[in-house]
Amino acid sequence: MIGSAERADVITDFTGLPAGTRVRMINTAPDAPFGGFPSIPSDPGTTGQVMEFVLDPNAGPVFSDPTSLVLTDMIPLIPNAPIREVSLNEEESQIVCVNVNPNGVIRQNKAVLPGPNFLSDCTAVGGVPFAPKAAVLGTMMGGISTPQLWTNPITENPAVGTTEEWAISNLTVDSHPIHLHLVKFHVVSRELIGGGLSPIGLHPWEDGWKDTVIAYPGEVTRIRATFDVAGLYVWHCHILEHEDNEMTRPMCVSTIGVDCQAQL
């Protein structure tokens, strides 16, 4: 599984194959591996074709000796270093209120009208907002998520040179490739929201440096980074429709005392 904007370093050994051999990389994954749409695999004859290698007898020497490749050790977490809790959220419609009966039948409650009292009016009749509006980022405190829009004050403000662990709680039903600008990090762990080990866990290819990580629904994805480049950046979901529709937040890495909000 590889997310939007995620990169993989792959070692390929063509030893023993004759010159002129053509080797194709094929994508056989379904378009929606986590539900929502039919899980129809890509067509290996057309859209599933990613890349072709042609063995050339006149090519230069091997790029590198795989036995010489060494992964960098995990960034140590300094005692009492901050753990920053953030969230991935799905905003619900502020227009359509529905009631769901015990059999799961959904009916719109047309007596509840859009307006400043929509949520309280919908709750008063035993209803719930219906249909997602937009995915947004947010903060977490005491298990409570507070969604944040792009225009809200900056909440992610690491001091330059500090190491932080980010606990990313995904409260949506989608997987989101989360990307932090101008910093590299290690994926530390995945756990279920509310406790317990994630059935997904860490993938073998997540041992090295990353700048994008897939946060799975219903899970807390933990990453660890040293914020060594000062400046005003962003962190966001790398699904473009999400990124361009509020699932992006400013992040300021600065010296202590600098007002990041003033830099917007």
pLDDT digits (tens, 9 = 90+) for 155-183: 999 999 999 999 999 999 889 999 999 99
Task: List Cα–Cα distances, 130 to 39, 106, 149, 209, 243, in angstroms.
Answer: 25, 10, 20, 40, 22
Given a cut of 70, the residues of the chain with pLDDT beneath it are 30-39, 60-64, 66, 256-264
Q: Which residue has the tokens 């950046």?
A: 233
The radius of gyration computed from the CA coordinates of the chain, to the nearest angstrom, equals 23
User: CA-to-CA distance for 181 and 166, rounded, in angstroms?
Assistant: 14
Contact 238, 212 (CB under 8 A): yes
**Predicted local confidence at residue 217, as pLDDT:** 93
Same domain, 28 and 109: no
Burial 124-148 (b: 16+ CB within 10 A, else e): eeebbbbeeeebbbbbbeeeebebb
Same domain, 254 and 146: yes
Same domain, 154 and 205: yes
Report the amino acid identity of residue 257: G
Same domain, 255 and 175: yes
Its domain, for residue 214, covers: 83-90+135-263
Same domain, 221 and 199: yes
The verdict on residue 73 lying in a domain is no
The verdict on residue 198 lying in a domain is yes
Domain count, the chain: 3
User: CA-to-CA distance for 156 and 107, rounded, in angstroms?
Assistant: 40
pLDDT tens digits, residue range 229-260?
Answer: 998 999 999 999 999 999 999 999 987 556 66
